Amino acid sequence: MSVSMPSEKVLKGEVSGAFLLGLLASLHNVKSLPQSDIRLRADEIEPLVWYPYSMLISTLEQLASTVPSSNILFFAGINFLRIWYEQGPGKTMIQSGLDWLHANDESGGYNSVVRGGAPEEIGWCRLTSIDVEQGLAIYDNVVALPPDYVRGVFYGGCILFDDMEYVDVHVDDAPFPQNPMLRRLTITVRFRCKSPEQAARVDAAIDVLKPGTLLALSVEDTESLAWRFKGLRLKERYLTAYHEDARNVLAEATHQLEHTASELRAAKERIEAAAAVGIIGLWEWDAQESHLSWDSVMYHLYGLSSRAFNVTYDGWTRILHPEDRVRVDAELSVAMTRGTVFSSEFRIFWPDRSVHYIKSVAKVMSAGGTATRMLGVSYDITEQKRIQHELDQLAFYDRLTGLPNRRLLEDRLDQLLAFAQRQHQNIGLLFVDLDRFKPVNDQYGHHVGDWLLQSVASRMQGCVRGSDTVARIGGDEFVVLLPAIGNLDEAFGVAEKIRGCLEAPFSRAGDVRLEISASIGVALYPQHAQTARELMHFADNAMYMAKNVGRNAVAVVKDKE
């Protein structure tokens, strides 16, 4: 973003002091901006006072040289909207993401914080169209603000509440010929509203979902869950891009700390700008004195008050999760001993005993060839971890039965093979294909077929040990992993137990009895195969042998093919 302000032209219009404060606060209270013709300080601005519009232009000029990337600008816009809602008039103006989309018309939004000039002098924001059913809103926005910041503001307003399953914002940027200090932005918001009743129903089903339990969702509920998943993936992509940019900025700034005093000042400004937007804390550890120095953001990350907590190394380690303390202490020791970069993720306890995830990166500083201290940064990755957990659940487990899917099965099989090779153990693999499932599905419909698959999954899990894995790999096909199985006879015995269990009729309230069976192929590592692919292949072949002898049978592969 680059804005030039002609000196011969007197800018008309005024800007709200509250808006200027929000702009600075969105960069997390940067107290003073880099040197320029106009120096603006947050403590010199009164929220209820109107200031010359030129102050907004000069502030944006200064921010352009401070904020290092479009992703960081985007998150600054999100921060601005949150501050406007939590500390400004937002709570009296909007109660939902949909309210926010309607509020950005000529009577609200940008038009409520600038005044006194013609539209072509101070800009505007107009809602040109909105279709809630189609999930589409379009705005004509003429402003001096950078496009990525505006995109963050619109996105931030939509995710403040829990009434949208999905939202994304696209901005088309074009010059505004009538005034070169402004840009004309066409803002397109695509969204999908959430039904409270449906959301409660899906959330209730997810809350009780555990590995091995059954999950049944309607088509509408499944569609809702898919849109949530799409929204989570998009949010994760934004978070990942921001964290990557923040790390790059911090790495560059840390490198420049080793140079001249002027370069040190420039690096400090970049670190503070990046840290402010993403709530990134700065810290220093004096290893000789065992003393830690924290900035104000670090106390915020740990949920602590600077008055109530005296930062020492021992005090800090007591906050760490017990399962992470030894590892993190060892990682710090290695970094200090070898002079390498310290990089670690760990859990901490807040005073209310809630668990938060922290990422810390630091550089070792030496004096006279001896490592004496560390300079580092920390930031909260709790939300990223939560999203990753939800994505893992959707990526690794079958939606219908709650069983591991093919992807998780293959991962577990690879790990089991590596362990079995070291420990000289056997692994049994059963390939299970249901007999006469398709006629049931065709005659009674998919809802009965889905219920039957869930019941099959439940019965199969009741036939195996807690250390075994039952996975659904597609349709009516299942695979069972038997780690550390004694011999082929034991694996065959488990297969027979499953076959007999599935042979018994399935009774569904109000319906006729459903009768199916299973053809099961058995293969053993290392007797029949040496790799995961071979083991699956031979068990699959054995399953077809069971089919060929009349179904409802167990067959063992005889020789490698």
For 32-81, the pLDDT digits (tens) are: 333 333 355 666 778 788 888 888 887 777 666 666 678 888 888 888 88
Lowest-confidence region among 291-295, 385-389, 539-543: 385-389
Q: What is the pLDDT of residue 342?
A: 92
- Residues 241-385: name the CATH superfamily: PAS domain (3.30.450.20)
pLDDT of 294 higher than 80 = yes
Residue 163 and residue 145 in contact, taking contact as beta carbons nearer than 8 Å: no
β pairing state of 554-556 and 517-525:
parallel
Q: Tell me the average pLDDT across 178-200.
A: 90
Phi, psi of 519 (to 5 degrees): -105, 125
Single out the residue of 541, 392, 404, 538 nearest to residue 461, CA to CA: 404
The residue among 366 and 536 whose pLDDT is bigger is: 536
pLDDT of 561 higher than 60 = no
Q: What is the pLDDT of residue 2?
A: 34
- Residue 522's pLDDT band (boundaries 50, 70, 90)? very high
Whose tokens are 């088509």? That residue is 219
Q: Tell me the average pLDDT across 261-289.
A: 67
CA distance 470 to 397: 11
CA distance 311 to 293: 7
Angle between helices 382-396 and 406-423 (to 10 degrees): 90
CA distance 138 to 141: 10
Element (H, E) at 523: strand 517-525
Q: pLDDT of 82-112, one tens digit each?
A: 888 887 778 888 899 999 999 887 656 677 7
- 14-240 classified as CATH 3.90.1520.10: yes
Lowest-confidence region among 178-187, 275-284, 502-511: 275-284
Determine what percent of the chain is predicted with pLDDT higher than 70. Answer: 87
| H helix intervals, 65-123 | 70-87, 90-93, 97-103, 119-122
Determine what percent of the chain is predicted with pLDDT higher than 90. Answer: 41
CA distance 153 to 80: 7
Angle between helices 196-207 and 219-256 (to 10 degrees): 80
Q: pLDDT of 125-173, one tens digit each?
A: 899 999 999 999 999 999 888 899 899 999 999 998 888 999 999 999 9
Q: Tell me the average pLDDT across 194-217.
A: 80
Q: What is the pLDDT of residue 501?
A: 96
Q: What is the pLDDT of residue 67?
A: 60
pLDDT of 10 higher than 60 = no
Q: What is the pLDDT of residue 494?
A: 96
Mean pLDDT of the chain: 84
Where does residue 271 fall: left (phi above 0), alpha (psi -120 to 50 degrees), or beta otherwise?
A: alpha
517 burial type by CB count under 10 A (0-12 exposed, 13-18 middle, 19+ buried): middle
Q: What is the pLDDT of residue 6?
A: 35
Handedness of CA 386, 392, 394, 395 (dihedral sign): positive
Q: Which class would CATH give 397-556?
A: alpha beta
pLDDT of 558 higher than 80 = no
CA distance 418 to 412: 10
Task: List own/partner pairs for 67-71 with CB under 8 A and 24 or more apart.
Answer: 67/27, 67/273, 67/277, 68/245, 68/249, 68/270, 68/273, 68/274, 69/245, 69/248, 69/249, 70/148, 71/148, 71/238, 71/241, 71/242, 71/244, 71/245
Residue 81 and residue 153 in contact, taking contact as beta carbons nearer than 8 Å: yes
Residue 410 and residue 536 in contact, taking contact as beta carbons nearer than 8 Å: no
Burial 18-39 (b: 16+ CB within 10 A, else e): bbbbbbbbbbbebeebbeeeee
Lowest-confidence region among 245-254, 359-368, 505-514: 245-254
Q: pLDDT of 339-396, one tens digit each?
A: 889 999 999 999 999 999 999 999 988 877 788 889 998 888 888 888 877 777 777 8
pLDDT of 498 higher than 90 = yes
Lowest-confidence region among 318-332, 445-459, 481-495, 505-519: 505-519
The residue among 276 and 420 whose pLDDT is bigger is: 420
Cis check for the bond before 526: say yes or no (omega within 30 of 0).
yes
Q: What is the pLDDT of residue 32?
A: 30
CA 16 remoteness from chain centre: 35
Q: DSSP string covering 286-341, please?
A: ETTTTEEEE-HHHHHHTT--TTT---BHHHHHHHB-HHHHHHHHHHHHHHHHHTPP
Residues contacting 455, CB < 8 A, separation 6+:
506
- Residue 258's pLDDT band (boundaries 50, 70, 90)? low
**Structural domain spans, the chain:** 14-240, 241-385, 397-556
